[in-house]
Structure 1
Amino acid sequence: MFQNQRQIQIEWGDCDPADIVFYPRYFAFFDASTGALFEAMGYSLRDIRGQANQVGFPMIDTRSQFYKPSKYGDIVLIESQITEVGDASFDIKHRLFNDEQLAVVCSEKRVWAGLNEQGELKAQVIPDDIRQRMLA
């Protein structure tokens, strides 16, 4: 299934007073990595929102395991891969490496969402062209 990599440098604002990444920042890294994954597939969030009533792919479940801390100035590699594609939802696994060692694993479940006639946010079937790219 589709995968992507990106490298980031840990910034001072990502860290807590112990000089390690404050754990909510990892979730921001992974959210941005999901966006980068879709851009690598050829679909920016702007493109997705441009489709009729498409809002995007909100998170419905996330969890992480932390193995090694990262600190200010570290350059880390995030590997993101779509691991499962359903009718209206999909799963992504992110693996963050620091100095070539696995530091964090995160799993996400997201739902393809749009607005119905009443303006309510509802799950929708993933468009076929996007589904095919996800499965590539």
Structure 2
Amino acid sequence: MLTNRRDVQIQWGDCDPANIVYYPRYFAMFDDSTSSLFEAAGCSKRDIINVYGLVGIPMVDTRAKFYVPSSYGDWITIESRIEKFNRSSFEVTHKVTKGEALAIEAFETRVLVGRDPADPARLKSTAVPAEIIEKFMRG
């Protein structure tokens, strides 16, 4: 399965008054990392909308384990991969390292959604296209 790595420098606005990253900021970084993972597979969020006719890939469950804090100016590496595809959902893991140390392990469940054919004002889960799965398997 494809793995994507990206280096991120912690910015002033990521930190709380104690100069450690305020935990919701990590979830924004993980969202960016999931987007980067899809781009690395050759299937950007724009492709999901324009090519596959979907609305997006919202997160329906998330959790994280925090081991090592980070502060303004620190560099971290976020390694992201899809661990498993289900019918309309997939499981993403993010491992954050700071230097050689494992700083965070994070987990997401996301669902592909499109417009409900019976009521276009509503969203409905959509099966993950085989072509998308194949793009991740090549990695």
| TM-score normalised by structure 2 residue count | 0.94
Matched, 1:61 2:77: no
Which residue of the partner structure matches residue 9 of structure 1?
9
**1:90 Cα deviation after fit:** 0.5
Which residue of the partner structure matches residue 114 of structure 1?
114
Q: Which runs of 4 or more aligned residues in structure 1 lie more than 4 Å from their structure 2 counterparts after TM superposition?
A: none
Q: RMSD between aligned alpha carbons? A: 1.0
After TM superposition, the structure 1 stretch with the greater mean CA deviation from structure 2, 112-121 or 56-65, is 112-121
Separation in 2, partners of 1:2, 1:91: 13
Residue identity matched to 1:51 = V
Q: Verify the 8 A CA contact 1:85 1:135 in the aligned structure 2.
A: no
Alpha carbons of 1:83 and 1:52: their partners in 2 closer, same or farther (altered >3 Å)? Answer: closer
Percent identity over paired residues: 48
How is 1:86-101 mapped onto 2 (pairs within 5 angstroms)? 86-101=86-101
Structure 1 unmatched runs, 5+: none
CA deviation map 1:25-81 (0-9, x unaligned): 000000100000000001111111113530111101000000000000001100001
Separation in 1, partners of 2:49, 2:60: 19
Matched, 1:124 2:126: yes
Separation in 2, partners of 1:83, 1:64: 16
Matched, 1:49 2:58: no
**1:133 Cα deviation after fit:** 1.6
Which residue of the partner structure matches residue 30 of structure 1?
30
Which residue of the partner structure matches residue 133 of structure 1?
135
Separation in 1, partners of 2:137, 2:69: 32
| TM-score normalised by structure 1 residue count | 0.96
